């Protein structure tokens, strides 16, 4: 096997492909890899919990101030998190708890965005319907570290067409392996007595700046 050695600080310009059949030494540190921005990591909606009773899965029928998890028809629908029918209910809020852990490839202090895909089913509210999020970092000691990390106000989802509602998360205290707790709120205000007014969350993602 031939071995080629170069003096220090020599630039090598390879115009074609480079195939490495052995090991690279020294290893390439993650910090030296190319950065990819706003990479999407899904939060499974089926993992959602009752916001103030984390040992409890979301119910199949919304009750009290809790959202519900809905399966729909297999092969036609995917699971979604919904309110109950809120027509004529006035100002009403429903909640659910989501959880997300920052992966090893996350860049410390990199951008963190919570993206919620949400809209209305059957009929829009005659007044308003919004989605909002509160986000806290756990301190791994049964508490939270600091205040609400979400800096974006509630956003309207009062449309039969689902929209991406993006919420900016303050990243200054976030590191690889940190877990954030996300309380999602759908708040509708309807006084009409027509067909069903149902707020729906169809998908949840966290967009991260990563290397790896």
Residue span of the structural domain in which 188 resides = 34-211
User: Residue 166: beta bridge partners?
Assistant: 115
pLDDT, one tens digit per residue, over 16-43 is: 776 766 565 554 555 655 679 999 999 9
What CATH number did the domain enclosing 53 receive? 2.60.120
Q: How far apart are the first and last CA of the chain?
A: 31
pTM for the model: 0.88
Looking at residue 192, its pLDDT comes to 93
Looking at residue 27, its pLDDT comes to 45
Looking at residue 16, its pLDDT comes to 72
For residue 17, being part of any structural domain is answered with no
Looking at residue 23, its pLDDT comes to 63
For residue 12, being part of any structural domain is answered with no
What is the band of 12 on the pLDDT scale with cuts at 50, 70, 90? low
Mean pLDDT, the chain, rounded, equals 91
Reply yes or no on whether the pLDDT at 1 is more than 60.
Answer: no
Looking at residue 59, its pLDDT comes to 97
To which residue do tokens 């308003």 refer?
128
pLDDT, one tens digit per residue, over 68-104 is: 999 999 999 999 999 999 999 999 999 999 999 999 9
Reply yes or no on whether the pLDDT at 65 is more than 60.
Answer: yes
For residue 10, being part of any structural domain is answered with no
For residue 190, being part of any structural domain is answered with yes
List of residues 6+ apart from 100 with CB closer than 8 A: 41, 43, 179, 180, 182, 206
Domain count, the chain: 1
CA dihedral in degrees (36, 97, 99, 49; nearest 10)?
A: -130
List of residues 6+ apart from 58 with CB closer than 8 A: 48, 49, 50, 66, 67, 68, 69, 81, 96
Looking at residue 25, its pLDDT comes to 56
Two tokens at 210? 């990563």
What is the band of 15 on the pLDDT scale with cuts at 50, 70, 90? confident
**Alpha-carbon span 45 to 98, nearest angstrom:** 8
What is the mean pLDDT of the segment spanning 98-125? 97
For residue 4, being part of any structural domain is answered with no
Two tokens at 137? 């970092």
Classify burial at 210, counting beta carbons within 10 Å of its beta carbon; exposed 0-12, middle 13-18, buried 19 or more: buried
For residue 189, being part of any structural domain is answered with yes
pLDDT, one tens digit per residue, over 165-209 is: 999 999 999 999 999 999 999 999 999 988 999 999 999 999 999
Query: What DSSP state is assigned to residue 27?
Result: P
CA dihedral in degrees (95, 97, 98, 101; nearest 10)?
A: 140
**Alpha-carbon span 95 to 199, nearest angstrom:** 11
Q: How many helices (H) and strands (E) does the chain have?
A: 0, 13
Two tokens at 149? 């990390």
Q: Phi, psi at residue 32, to the nearest 5°?
A: -95, 0
Identify the three-state secondary structure at position 160: coil
For residue 200, being part of any structural domain is answered with yes
For residue 5, being part of any structural domain is answered with no
């Amino acid at each position: 096997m031939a071995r080629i050695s170069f003096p220090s600080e020599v630039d090598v310009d390879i115009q074609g492909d480079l195939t490495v059949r052995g090991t690279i030494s020294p290893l390439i540190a993650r910090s030296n890899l190319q950065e990819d921005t706003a990479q999407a990591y899904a939060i499974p909606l089926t993992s959602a919990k009752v916001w103030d009773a984390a040992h409890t899965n979301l119910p199949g029928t919304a009750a009290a101030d809790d959202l519900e998890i809905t399966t729909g028809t297999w092969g036609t629908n995917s699971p979604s998190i919904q309110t109950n029918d809120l027509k004529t209910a006035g100002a009403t809020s429903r909640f659910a708890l989501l959880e997300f852990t920052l992966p090893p490839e996350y860049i410390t202090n990199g951008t963190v965005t919570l993206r919620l895909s949400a809209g209305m089913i059957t009929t829009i509210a005659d007044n308003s319907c919004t989605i909002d999020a509160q986000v806290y970092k756990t301190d791994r000691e049964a508490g939270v570290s600091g205040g609400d990390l979400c800096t974006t106000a509630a956003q309207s989802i009062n449309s039969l067409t689902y929209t991406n509602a993006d919420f900016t998360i303050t990243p200054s205290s976030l590191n690889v392996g940190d877990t954030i707790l996300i309380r999602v709120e759908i708040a509708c205000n309807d006084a009409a007595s027509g067909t069903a007014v149902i707020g729906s969350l169809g998908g949840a993602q966290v967009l991260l700046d990563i290397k790896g």
